[in-house]
Structure 1
Amino acid sequence: MNFCTTRPPNSHNLRDDVIGNVNQRTIANHASNPHGDLVRPRSAEEKTLTKRKCESAIDISSFKSARREREAFSSQAEDLVMLILEDQAKQRKLRRDRQRGYRQRQNDLMVCLQKETLQLQNEIQDLEERRSAIIAATPTKENLWGVVVEYFRVFRFGVRGTISNSLETNAQLNFLERTMTLDVQSNTGYGPSELIATWRRFSTSLQGVEIELQNLKRDSINAVVATIATNFTITEHVVQKLFPRLSGKRSSLLTKKLLHQEIVMLGTVRFVWDRTCGRITSVLSRSDMVTPMLELVGNVEELARVFEYARVLA
């Protein structure tokens, strides 16, 4: 065995002919890439997949963000709706309170008006009684005039003998009994009851009648004469009551002339006074219906037809 300290054991492999036949290997330079084989170029599929993952992540993030925005908006909308509903409820309650207060004020006003009306009625009744007492205590010369004026005030609209006006009719009869003798004379008989019956027939025939006192003058020491105007409208009821002959066909044209015409009938009423008892003893009246009717029909012939078989009012 050949051994030498100055030559390595494999020196025979280091000969020039051996080294010359060895191909030199190219060693890659990894200095610029410290990771070496850990980094390698990505394929197109990997890039596409990565892009899709990024886009998906972005989409998910956008969806979550939009959902959070919608949830926040929905919460705000719910809060706004609740505020609107609460405000509407407050408004309704306020309106109910106002209506309740208004109705209460109306009820209080009605109660107050009823009390005041009752009080006024009592005061009127008290004044009427005091007035009657004053008239009764007035000297005879003034008492006659006062009673006559009161008579036409009480009977200004005649006697309205309906059930609702029964109190008024009783008051009229009480006035006659208080101011006239028991045998007071009228156009149709004697007594206050007969006089009120005459007024009732007169008012029934001439519905809506109104009597106005126009003048009052002394006729003698114990009598006065009142000039009056009686106003009424000729209706079918008036024609049937006073002029029954005009309801036929032959008189239809004449009836048309009269219907719905307003009549002012002048007249006088004479009152006689008893100074001893301080009451009226006679009430006699006269009225002129011919003159206004002649103005309506235009001639005497038709006027005669109107008053043919006419029912004369006392």
Structure 2
Amino acid sequence: MSSSVFYPPNIHRFGDDVIGKVIQRVNPPSYIRPALDSRSECIVSSLKFTSETLPCPESFRSTSTATTPDVPKRTCRNAVQLSTTALSTDRKDDLSSKKSPTLDTTSLSKKRRATISTKKDRTVDIELIRSRRRANMQRYRNKLRKHAVTVEENVEHLREEIKELELEHHTTLAGIKKHTSWSIAAEYFRLFRYGLRGDFAPSKPLESMGYASSSGSTAQRGFLCANMAADVVGPTGCGVQNLIDDLRKLTLCLPTLETRVVRLKTGPRKSITAVTRVEVTMTANTIRLAFPHLVQNEKWSPFALMLLDQQFVMDGSVHLEWDSDSSRVALLQSKSDLLTPMLKVFGNLDIVTCIFENAFITPECTLARRDT
């Protein structure tokens, strides 16, 4: 056979001019191209220059067309191999430089010293802040102690001033010779709004208590002695001392008594009648002293239990008669409607009558008269 792989039948069409100008161009892979350094680029460019400029030898032209691509292929592969070798060498150098960095012991020691100094500074700052807080707290506590001592001293000073003013008021009030019925009435309701207040024990039985002349406050006794006639008519008798005893007994039976003036009106011969509103709470002591027959040997009757803790609001009146000759009060009597709230609680007049039968107070909220 005259034809083969290396000598095709149309070999006469491929002349030397055509074959000699064929150049195989092989581009390196995409991952190698960016990594080529200047040395590899120079090698590749030199190889391309030699392959383009050098003429093909006669032996290459006469053999076959298939052998022509071998030379540039080998040349380019060698160039690529050289470039990859150079790249691998550079990468090894870079990796070695990265894997084994030179440690600067001086810089590390400086960093450690800086860290230690920073920690020490923080510790010092914390201790300083704590000491300042302790000092502030101590100053605050001292300030509170001084304030408490100052308040106690001021309270004691005010108490002394109150005693002096009470004594001065009592002296001034007792020394006044001329009064009007209106001023006497106003002062009476101011002083006796809560009854006659004195040093007595409400737990004692009412009948067994003595009536000392010192009962009631000094201002109240001074007012009665200075403005009441010697034979003043009270709820149960005549005389200033009898009036004091009556007021004292009534306050003892009703310790929660409170009298408020609604209005004042004048009557004949300069008399004054005050319309009042009286409030009272039925406490355990009130029931024992005002209604002793409802509690016997600490046994409470059902009526006593019904009365316990009841709050009564009553309409009342106080009548004062004025003596123009002596400029004193000749008559002082008061009463309140205790019957109406009692009927609201029990709802039966017979039961209310039985309750007031042996009581120390009357349905008019006055002291009951007892034969001695």
Normalising by the residue count of structure 1, what TM-score does the alignment of the two structures yield?
Answer: 0.64
Matched, 1:177 2:225: yes
* Matched residue SS, 1:215: strand
* Secondary structure of residue in 1 paired with 2:196: coil
Q: Is the 8 A contact 1:245 1:308 kept in 2?
A: no
1:94 to 112, 131, 136: 136
Q: Which runs of 5+ in 1 are unaligned?
A: 1-54
Counterpart check, 1:309 vs 2:351: no
Q: Which residue of 1 aligns with 2:185?
A: 148
Q: CA deviation at 1:260?
A: 1.4
Question: Relative to 1, partners in 2 of residues 1:130 and 1:244: Cα closer, same or farther, differing over 3 Å?
Answer: closer
Query: Could you list the per-position Cα deviations for residues 276-314 of structure 1 after superposition, in whole angstroms to 9, with x for gaps in the alignment?
Result: 121112223333322221122112222223223222342
Which position in structure 1 is the counterpart of 2:4?
none
Cα displacement (A) at 1:75: 3.8
Structure number with the higher helix fraction is 1
Q: How does 1:51-62 map to 2 (within 5 A)?
A: none
Tell me the distance in 1 between the aligned counterparts of 2:345 and 2:147. Answer: 56
Measured after TM superposition, the shift of residue 111 of structure 1 is 5.3
Contact kept, 8 Å, 2:170 with 2:219, in 1: the verdict is no
Matching of residue 239 in structure 1 with residue 287 in structure 2: yes
Cα distance change of structure 1 residues 177 and 76 upon mapping to structure 2, 3 Å threshold: same
Q: Say whether residues 1:191 and 2:228 are aligned partners.
A: no
Give the gaps of 5 or more residues in structure 2.
Answer: 1-99, 201-213, 368-372
CA contact (8 A) 2:174 2:223 kept: no
Q: CA deviation at 1:179?
A: 0.5
Choose which of 216, 222, 226 in structure 1 pairs with 2:274.
226
Match for residue 206 of structure 1 among 250, 254, 271: 254
Deviation for aligned residue 1:182: 2.3
Q: Does 1:276 align with 2:318?
A: no
> Shift in Å at residue 272 of structure 1?
2.1
Alignment pair present for 1:157 and 2:199: no
Question: Residue by residue, what CA displacement relative to the aligned partner does 1:50-72 show, whole Å, maximum 9, x if unpaired?
Answer: xxxxx9xx99x95x986675455
Write the distance in 2 (CA, Å) between the matches of 1:102 and 1:241.
47
Does 2:335 align with 1:286? yes
Distance 1:245 1:220, change over 3 A: same
Change (3 A) 1:99 1:162: same
Match of 1:78 among 120, 129, 141: 120
User: How far is 1:188 from its partner?
Assistant: 2.3
Residue matched to 1:51: none
**CA–CA distance in 2 between the matches of 1:72 and 1:226?**
92
In structure 2, what residue type is equivalent to 1:243? F
Identity %: 27
Q: Would the aligned equivalents of 1:173 and 1:193 in 2 still touch at CA under 8 Å? A: no
Change (3 A) 1:215 1:131: same
Task: Return the letter of the residue paired with 2:192.
Answer: F
Task: Count the aligned residue pairs.
Answer: 249
CA distance in 2, matches of 1:93, 1:167: 56
User: What's the CA shift for 1:126?
Assistant: 5.8
The Cα shift of 1:155 comes to 0.6
